[in-house]
Amino acid sequence: MTQQVLDQKVQQAIDQFNALDEKICHFTNILGLLGWDARTYAPKKGKPIFAKAKGTLSTETFKLSISKEMGECLDTLCQPEVFHQLDLPTQSCVRERKQDYEKSKRIPTDVYNEYVVLASNANDAWEQARENDDFSYFEPYLEKMVEMKKRFAEYFGYEKHPYDALLDEYEPGLTVEKLDPLFADLRESSIKLLNRIQQSSRKPNSKIFDQNFDVEKQKEFAQFIIEKLGYDLDAGRLDETTHPFAMGINTGDVRITTRYEQDNPRMAIFGTIHETGHALYEQGVNPDYEGRVIRRGASFGIHESQSRFLENFVGRTEEFWKFFYQDLKAHFPNELNGISLDEFYRAINAVEPSLIRVEADELTYNLHIMLRYEIEKGLIAGDIKVKDLPEVWNDKVKDYLGITPPSNRLGVLQDVHWSHGGIGYFPSYSLGNLYGAQMLNKVLSDLPDFYEHIEKGEFMKIREWLGEHVHQYGKLYTPGELIKKVTGEELDAKYLVDYLEQKYTKLYDL
């Protein structure tokens, strides 16, 4: 073929690929909205009926992603001499679709259908088990799920550890070999730090939150904070759900939800800031990527880095509350009467080993994640049996946190993830903290007056930094590429370790 004919063929494949990519993105965006609706405003009688409609669109979307047409486009565009001619955004889109195509194609249709049914049944069983505090309801389903995930790992393929294949689903490129030392460093230092904190005579007064904080006032305050943080309410909205989440439908429509608890205003305050972190990411992706697969966040871990950054590295600082505390007091003059800024600041940063992951403090949170990671690895490697899980769980909690769950409900049954098949997901949460701390270190060198900005309630510069270095790129880079581009280094646990060390040394006079 002449160069001209070749070019024409390539251009055709590019156009066809982009059209297909856009169609899948459009359907995915719609599915996102349907998910938002189901969790916010959908009336209960309609949900099971509508789930079928959603299933139809979901199947259609999946079919497109593994269609013959997609395969042909990818065949053409992945030829090295063609691929290197593509611009970077197109290369990244091809990379993403290729991964998706290869993985999905490897799972036989009947196995996949079996998996979908299992996930649905396992979720029902988990709910029952949790309600009745009886692991035996869930056990047979979880056993099947673990077997299924082992099969998936074999289908996907891996070099060293079968769990690598599952990790890769959430954090492309991550392996046990890379993650083990990161978590080992973090674990060791966290447990030491926790011990020192527990021996400190400083005892923050968390009791200040055990009062009635009017929910309408909490709503007003949450609204005030997110606007100050730069969340664009013309490109999003804040609603209320039991399980808060952020949903990026497109760059002009990134919705967040939060939960208001009358006797615990921390839930809404930090939950809202957390989701705002996710939302700023999605609102900040290059709008030229709209309708392309790279429009979303780089990975679950990178996404979590943005929410944790805002929640912890901004929202739990003394400077943040130097600015916001007077407003919070104005909303709750009686409840916070006589509580100094210092007392408040220490209270929101109190460290205490607890049983429930989602209620854990900034330090012990990672221990919750690491014990789950160890268990998941063991389950997939076959070293841990599902039937032994309650015991294994409780032993690990004792080992990591020094406490013992009085029930499975407050132990192994607390998280929904495994019932949905989300084995490999948990590490993302701590990866977010690791990525975030490493980015914070870079931000502090680029913006030496980082904390002065926060103290003045000026978040523009921080948002701009995150926008320029992280948000705008979406999935243009892999998470590994991105952290290196942003910070000049591979992911390293020392930044989070140092951050935690410094923060709590000061807070607890260690």
**Enzyme catalytic residues:** 275
Minimal distance, residue 164 CB to a copy of itself, in Å: 34
Quote the CA–CA distance of 177 and 489 in Å, as a whole number.
18
**Binding of residue 52 to a copy of itself (CB under 8 A):** yes
Q: How far is the CB of 69 from a copy of itself (least distance, A)?
A: 15
* Nearest Cα to Cα of residue 215 among 260, 181, 158: 260
Could you tell me if 481 and 500 are in contact, meaning their C-beta atoms sit under 8 angstroms apart?
no
| Among 2-10, 247-255, 384-392, 413-421, the segment contacting a copy of itself (CB under 8 A) | 247-255
- Does residue 216 touch a copy of itself according to CB under 8 A? no
Give 40 or 132: the residue with its C-beta nearer to a copy of itself.
40
232 binds a copy of itself (CB under 8 A): yes
- Which of 52-60, 380-388, 473-481, 485-493 is the region at the interface with a copy of itself (rule: CB under 8 A)? 52-60
Tell me which of 110, 159, 234, 509 binds a copy of itself, using CB under 8 A: 234
Interaction of residue 34 with a copy of itself, rule CB under 8 A: yes
Burial of 500 (0-12, 13-18, 19+ CB in 10 A): buried
Task: Between 223 and 407, name the residue whose CB sits nearer to a copy of itself.
Answer: 223
Q: Pick from 66, 78, 107, 235 the residue near a copy of itself by CB under 8 A.
A: 235
Distance separating alpha carbons of residues 14 and 19, to the nearest angstrom: 9
Q: How far apart are CA 254 and CA 130, in angstroms?
A: 32
d(Cα 38, Cα 381) in Å, to the nearest integer? 36
In SS3 terms, 293-304 reads as HHHCCCCHHHHH
> How many angstroms separate the Cα of 431 from the Cα of each of 317, 373, 462, 478?
21, 12, 21, 14
Buried b (16+ CB within 10 A) or exposed e, 404-429: ebeebbebbbbbeebbebbbbbbbbb
- For residue 232, the minimal CB distance to a copy of itself (Å) is 7
Q: Which is nearer to a copy of itself, 51 or 341 (CB)?
A: 51
Binding residue for a copy of itself (CB under 8 A) from 1, 5, 45, 84? 45
Beta bridge partners of 256: 238, 246
Considering beta carbons, is residue 68 or 160 the nearer one to a copy of itself? 68
Q: How far is the CB of 235 from a copy of itself (least distance, A)?
A: 4
Site for a copy of itself in 271-290 (CB under 8 A): 290
Q: Where in 92-151 is the site for a copy of itself (CB under 8 A)?
A: none
Q: Does 42 help bind a copy of itself (rule: CB under 8 A)?
A: yes
- Work out the number of other CB atoms within 10 angstroms of the CB of residue 334: 10
Q: In Å, how far from its chain's centre is CA 166?
A: 16
Is residue 258 helix, strand or coil? strand
Dihedral sign (CA 456, 459, 465, 468): negative
- Binding track over 4-23 against a copy of itself, x by CB under 8 A: ------------------xx
Nearest CA to 330 among 205, 214, 207, 460?
A: 214
In whole angstroms, the minimum distance from the beta carbon of 44 to a copy of itself comes to: 5
The residue among 58 and 104 lying less far from a copy of itself, judged by its C-beta, is 58
How far separated are the first and last CA of the chain, in Å rounded? 73
Burial class (CB in 10 A: 0-12, 13-18, 19+), 2: exposed
* Residue 47 binding a copy of itself, by CB under 8 A: yes
Residue 245 touching a copy of itself (CB under 8 A): no
Q: Please identify, among the stretches 29-37, 77-85, 199-207, 214-222, the one whose residues bind a copy of itself according to the rule CB under 8 A.
A: 29-37
Task: Select 64 or 86, whichever has its Cβ closest to a copy of itself.
Answer: 64
The whole-angstrom separation of Cα 467 and Cα 280 is 8
Residues in contact with a copy of itself, shown as a per-residue x/- string from 386 to 405 under the rule CB under 8 A: --------------------
Residues that bind a copy of itself (CB under 8 A): 22-23, 25-27, 29-30, 33-34, 37, 41-50, 52-54, 56-57, 60, 232-237, 249-253, 255, 290-291
